Amino acid sequence: MGISRCGARALAGPLVVSLLVSLTGVQIAQAAVAPGFATLTGTVPAFSSAGPVTVEVLAQGSLAHLAVGQTVPFTTVVAPVSVQGSAFSVAVPDSTAIQGLAAQGNGNVNLMTVVQNGSQMSTVFTPAKTSGTATQAGATGVEAAADAGAQAPIQLSNFPAPWKIGGTSASPAAAAQAAAAPAVPALCEPPVVVATHNNQRTRIGELHVAADSWMEAIYAYNTSADSTVQVGSSANGGSTWAVSGTIGVNNSIGSGGTLPHTGGWVGYVNDTMDFDEYNYCGVLYTQAVSSHGDTYDGLNAPGANPYGTCHNAIASNSSWRIATVQHGDGISRGTWNSDSSTVTTFGLMTTLWGFTFNGATGYAVSDRTTWYNGSTGTNTYVCGAGGNIAKAPVLYNNPN
> What are the tens digits of pLDDT across the range 54-78?
999 999 888 877 888 888 888 889 9
Note the residue count of the chain. 400
CA distance 258 to 296: 8
Which tens digits make up the pLDDT trace of 299-354?
888 888 888 888 777 777 767 878 888 999 999 999 888 655 445 555 557 788 88
**Residue 289 covered by a domain:** yes
Most confident stretch, 93-97, 106-110, 334-338: 93-97
Q: Are residues 211 and 154 in the same domain?
A: no
Lowest mean pLDDT among 8-17, 59-68, 371-380: 8-17
Residue with the larger pLDDT of the pair 235 and 400 = 235
Specify if 202 maps to a domain.
Answer: yes
User: Could you tell me if residue 201 is inside a domain?
Assistant: yes
Using one digit for the tens of pLDDT, what is the confidence trace for 229-257? 889 998 888 889 999 998 887 655 455 67
**Distance between CA atoms of 95 and 3, rounded to whole angstroms?**
18
For residue 115, how many other CB atoms are within 10 A of its CB? 24
Give me the domain span that covers residue 21: 5-167
Confidence of residue 135 (pLDDT cuts 50, 70, 90): very low
Q: Does residue 183 form part of some domain?
A: no
Over range 20-43, report the average pLDDT: 50
Pairing mode, strands 9-10 and 74-83: parallel
Contact 226, 308 (CB under 8 A): no
Do 208 and 284 belong to one domain? yes
Same domain, 358 and 309: yes
Total tally of structural domains belonging to the chain: 2
What is the residue type of 106?
N
Q: Is 198 helix (H, G, I), strand (E, B) or coil?
A: strand
The pTM is what?
0.71
Q: Which of 149, 167, 185 is where one domain is finished?
A: 167
What value does the mean pLDDT of the chain take? 74
Structural domain includes residue 186: no
Task: Specify whether 11 is located in the same domain as 151.
Answer: yes
- Output DSSP code: residue 64: T
Same domain, 204 and 160: no
Residue 183: C-alpha distances to residues 7, 153, 188, 271 (Å): 9, 36, 10, 38
What pLDDT score was predicted for residue 43? Answer: 94
Which are the contacts of 348, defined by CB distance < 8 A and separation ≥ 6?
203, 356, 357, 358
pLDDT of residue 11: 38
- 397, β-bridge pairs: 382
Q: Are residues 11 and 107 in the same domain?
A: yes
pLDDT for residue 14 = 31
Asked if the model's pLDDT at residue 89 lies above 90, the reply is yes
Q: Are residues 124 and 224 in the same domain?
A: no
Contact predicate 248/110, CB 8 Å = yes
